[in-house]
Chain A
C-alpha cells in the first residue's frame, strides 16, 4: 500500500468530504437540542394504548405553550418538545393529558433546561473543544521535542490538528444533514463524542508519528540516506495493520453500543463510529502525507 505515492488522491478525498461537511453545516445549520437552546422534553406513556397525536394537540392547544413538537416513541409513548416550561406548566400538561382522568398517563421523563443554562453549556462546549485541541498540540510538540530534522516538532502537532479538525468536521457535517432530514438534535452527548473522537484520533496519529520518530532515530544511528518520504512510508507500512485492527475493535464495541445500548446513547455511538472511521483514515491518509509535504517544502 503506497500511501505516500498516491497522497494527492487520498488528500483530495478528504478535502472533498471536509468541504461537503462545511457546506452542509453552513447550508442546513446545526440543530441544537434543548441542552443548548433551553426548552423542555416531556415523555409520557399510556399503558392502555396511546391516543391519536391530533387529540393530544387539541387538548394542549388551549394551554398556549407555543410550538409543541410531538413524536411517538416505543409502543405507547409520546415525546413532547416545547419551550422552557415552569413546573406549573408541567402540572397542567399532565392533567390535560389524562383527558379528564379517562386515560392512565405515566410521566416517564421530564427534562427542562433554562435558556441561560443552555447558552452557558454551548459556550463551555466550544471552549472544551478548543482547549482539548490546544492541549494536544502542546503535548505532541513536547513529546516529539527531540525530533527536529527534517521536520520540527511543532509541525507534528500542527499536522495532528489538521487531522483532528478533519475528524470532527465530518461527523458534525453528517449530523447537520441528519438534523435537517431526520430531526436529529445535537446534545451534550454529541459534544462528548466529538471530544472522545479527538482523544481517540490523536492516539492513532501519535502511534504513526511514534514509528516515524523511531525510524528517524534508527536512520541517524546507521547514517542511512533514506529520504523523509520513504521513512514515513515505511512507518506507515509498519503501523497500518495495527491501526486497522484497533479501529475494528473499537468499531465492534461502538456497534454493540449503537445496536444494544438503549436510546440515550444511540446517537452518541453513531457519532463515535463516524469519528473513529474518519480518525483512522486521517492518521493514515492525511497526517503522514501532510508531514511529507511539509518535509519536502523545507528542502
Chain B
C-alpha cells in the first residue's frame, strides 16, 4: 500500500507542476505556449477558393497549387497578420476532385480588402534597366525600388512556359541550373524586338512588382525562348520556374466560401464554452462525491488530473481550439467519468464476496478493463472516421474528442487506481463500509 501512496504523491506533484505550467505560460505574454484559438473563438476571416486546374494534369497540378500558395502567402504577408494560414486542400467527394486554397487571416475582419488583395492575378513583367544613368531617388536619397526600370510591355501574358534544366553548354557550368522560358507567338515577336534593340542591357524579370532576376541580354533572340542563368541554387531556380509558370499560367481562382467573425462574438463564444466546461465539471464532481463517496472523490481528483493533462497537450501539440473542439472536450469529460463509474460498480460487486479491500479494488479494475477498452475503442473509431472525413470544423471536434477519450482511459486506469489503492485500507469494515458504500445506503 505504501508504494501506492508514494506513487499517488508523485502523480499529485506532477499534476500540480502541470497546472503551474498551464497557468504560468498563459500569463506570460512572451511564452510560445499560449492556447491557440480558432477563428470562431477569436476573430478573423476564413476564405475558401476553388482553383480551376482544368487545363493541367497530374504533377503540374501540384506544382501550380504550390506556386499559388506561395504567391498568396506573399500577398497575405502584406497584411502583417500574425500566423496567417494558407494551405492547399483537395475538395470534392466522389467523382471530380477539386483543388482548393484555404486562407485564414486571424484578426482581419475587413473581408473586402483581403478578398481584393488575394484575388489579384499574379503579375509577371519584363523590364529594361534604365540606361539614362540617372537613378530615381526619393526625398531621403534612397533608390526607389523598381523605378529604374522601364516597362517593355512584355508580361506573363505572353509566356508559354518556364522549365528548369541544368547547364553543360554555352559556357555554363555543368551542374548550374538554367531556367528556360518559352514565349507564345506574340511574345516571341515582342521578345525578338526587345532583345534586338537592347542587346547588352539588363532585362529584369519582375513578379508582383519585385525584381526576381536580372539577366543580361546576350544577343537577339528570335526563337521565342530564352534562358536565365544567375547566381542561384537549384532550389531557387526551381522556385523561379514555378513562379514564372504561375505568372504565365495563373490558376484562376474563385471564392466559394467566406466566414468572418467579429471580435466580440468570438470572445463571447469562448467565455461561454469555458464556463460551460467548468460548470459541467463542478456538477459532475458534486454528483460523484455524493453518490460514490470516497471513490467518487478519487474520481474527481483523477478528472482534474485528466483536465490538466489535456490542457497541457492542447498547449504543446498544439491543438487549435474551436467552439466545436470545446464541445468535443466537454463531451469527453462525460466519457472520462464512465470509466471510473464502471470500475466503482465492479469494486462494489467484488466487495459482496470478500472483505479484503485491496483485493476487491484490484479485481474490480481488471474486470472493468474489458468494457472500458471495448467502449473506448468504438469511440476512438468514431473520432478517427470524423477526422478522416471532416472539414476543419469537424476535425476540431474529432481531435479533442479522440484525445479526450484516450487520455481519460489512461487517467482512469492509472491515476484512479493508484489513488484509490493509496487511500483505502486493508479490510472492508467500520467507517470504510460507509466510505466505500454508495447511493442512499
Contact = CB atoms under 8 A, between A and B. Distances in A.
Contacts of A259: 276
Contacts of A242: 341-342, 345
Interface string A148-183: 000000000000000000000000000000000000
Given A123-B94, A207-B342, A254-B334, A87 B258 contact: yes
Q: Chain B at the A interface: mostly helix, strand, loop or mixed?
A: helix
Interface string B307-338: 00000000000000001101110110111011
A253 B374 contact: no
B112 A87 contact: yes
A117 B394 CA distance: 15
B419 interface: no
Contacts of B257: 112-114, 117
Contact of A199 (B115, B379, B391, B393): B379
B92 interface: yes
B93 A124 contact: yes
B111 interface: yes
A242 B273 CA distance: 28
13 contacts: A43-B265, A113-B257, A117-B48, A132-B381, A136-B382, A139-B378, A199-B401, A202-B375, A203-B338, A214-B370, A249-B287, A252-B280, A269-B327
A222 interface: no
Interface residues of B, number: 75
B135 interface: no
Interface in A213-267: 214, 238-239, 241-242, 245-246, 248-250, 252-257, 259-265
Nearest to A106: B262
A257 B273 CA distance: 7
A90 B281 CA distance: 41
Contacts of B98: 116
Contacts of A127: 93, 389
Interface string A190-210: 011001101110111011001
Interface string A95-128: 0000000000011111111101100110110011
A253 to B, nearest CB: 4
Contact of A198 (B92, B273, B382, B394): B382
Nearest to B269: A262
Q: Closest 10 CB pairs between A and B?
A: A262-B272, A250-B334, A199-B382, A114-B256, A203-B375, A261-B276, A256-B280, A253-B280, A260-B276, A112-B258
B262 A257 contact: no
Contacts of A253: 280-281, 283-284, 330-331, 333-334
Contacts of A246: 334, 337-338, 341
Contacts of B305: none
A261 B40 CA distance: 14
B324 A189 contact: yes
B375 A207 contact: yes
A124 B394 CA distance: 11
B327 A110 contact: no
B260 interface: yes
Nearest to B265: A108
A188 B328 CA distance: 14
Interface string B253-271: 0011111111011001101
A192 B394 contact: yes
Contacts of A263: 269, 272
Interface in B368-401: 370-371, 374-379, 381-383, 385-386, 389-391, 393-394, 397, 401
Given A87-B258, A249-B337, A203 B376 contact: yes
B91 interface: yes
A111 B381 contact: no
B27 interface: no
A260 B272 CA distance: 6
B431 interface: no
Interface of A: 43, 86-87, 90-91, 106-114, 116-117, 120-121, 123-124, 127-128, 131-132, 135-136, 139-140, 143, 188-189, 191-192, 195-196, 198-200, 202-204, 206-207, 210-211, 214, 238-239, 241-242, 245-246, 248-250, 252-257, 259-265, 268-269, 272
B169 interface: no
Contacts of B397: 192, 196
B91 A139 contact: no
B374 A206 contact: yes
Contacts of B112: 87, 90-91
Contacts of B268: 262
A264 to B, nearest CB: 5
A264 B39 CA distance: 13
A114 to B, nearest CB: 4
B419 to A, nearest CB: 19
A116 B256 contact: yes
A195 B382 contact: yes
B275 interface: yes
B114 to A, nearest CB: 9
Interface centre among B349, B371, B374, B378 (most CB of A within 10 A): B378
B224 to A, nearest CB: 39
B44 to A, nearest CB: 11
Contacts of B327: 189, 192, 257, 261, 265, 268-269
